[in-house]
């Protein structure tokens, strides 16, 4: 059963992973991905990044993404935490984790979860630069290509 959370609050990776494991002893490994706000974009220094989302659809999309991973790999647990609002360089944005009896499933499912999230979950990033200018981040074709390696249908274009 996947745990999904979207909110403003920072997350504690160690506490989240401990909660994911709980008292279980059938988990052999946990794959994790942590996305972090970079301090530069297009060679310019970033003051902050603001994340907007579509409340309701976001949670539905993340549940669907987690279910797709659970159908594909034998997972004991998986977790997606995504922050929204204003974040500073160095702050974590997203935590994805997948637990399985063996490492390959855990690592592959983790990569799948973040690749799907990047193209199928309704979040949008706006960059605010140190000079005060702002710009919405453009979607990258490489994200669609990353999704395609899982044999998944890209978001309707």
Partner 1 sequence: MKILYFAWLRERIGCGEETVALPADVTTVADLVSWLGSRSPGHASALAPASDGRRIVRCAVNQDFADPETRVTERDEVAFFPPVTGG
Alpha-carbon distances of 80 from 24, 44, 134, 136, 141, rounded to whole Å: 19, 30, 28, 23, 23
Residue in 21, 122, 128, 150 binding partner 1, rule: CB under 8 A:
122
Residue 118 engages partner 1 in binding (rule: CB under 8 A)? yes
3-22 positions binding partner 1, by CB under 8 A: none
Residue in 14, 25, 138, 142 binding partner 1, rule: CB under 8 A:
138
d(CA 79, CA 68): 13
Helix, strand, coil percent content, the chain, rounded in steps of 5? 30, 35, 30
Residue in 8, 57, 88, 148 binding partner 1, rule: CB under 8 A:
57
Residue 124 engages partner 1 in binding (rule: CB under 8 A)? yes
Residue 117 engages partner 1 in binding (rule: CB under 8 A)? yes
Q: Cβ contacts of residue 13 below 8 Å, gap of 6+?
A: 32, 34, 92, 95
Residue 157 engages partner 1 in binding (rule: CB under 8 A)? yes
User: How many whole angstroms from its chain centre is CA 55?
Assistant: 16
Residue in 56, 90, 132, 151 binding partner 1, rule: CB under 8 A:
56
- DSSP code, position 73: S
Residue 142 engages partner 1 in binding (rule: CB under 8 A)? no
C-alpha radius of gyration, the chain, whole number = 16
- Minimal distance in Å, beta carbon 157 to partner 1? 7
Give contact residues for partner 1 (rule: CB under 8 A). 35, 51-54, 56-57, 60, 82, 93-94, 114, 117-126, 136-139, 155-157
């Amino acid at each position: 059963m996947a745990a999904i959370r979207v909110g403003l609050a920072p997350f504690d990776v160690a506490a989240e992973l401990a909660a994911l494991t709980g008292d279980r002893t059938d988990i052999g490994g946990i794959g994790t991905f942590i996305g972090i706000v970079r301090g530069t974009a297009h060679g310019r220094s970033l003051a902050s990044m603001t994340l907007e989302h579509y409340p309701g659809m976001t949670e539905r999309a993340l549940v669907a993404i987690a279910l797709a991973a659970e159908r594909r790999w034998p997972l004991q647990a998986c977790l997606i935490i995504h922050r929204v609002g204003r974040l500073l360089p160095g702050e974590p944005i997203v935590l994805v984790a997948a637990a399985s009896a063996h490492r390959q499933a855990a690592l592959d499912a983790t990569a799948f979860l973040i690749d799907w999230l990047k193209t199928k979950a309704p979040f949008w990033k706006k960059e605010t630069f140190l000079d005060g200018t702002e710009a919405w981040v453009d979607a990258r074709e490489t994200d669609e290509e990353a999704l395609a390696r899982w044999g998944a249908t890209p978001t309707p274009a």
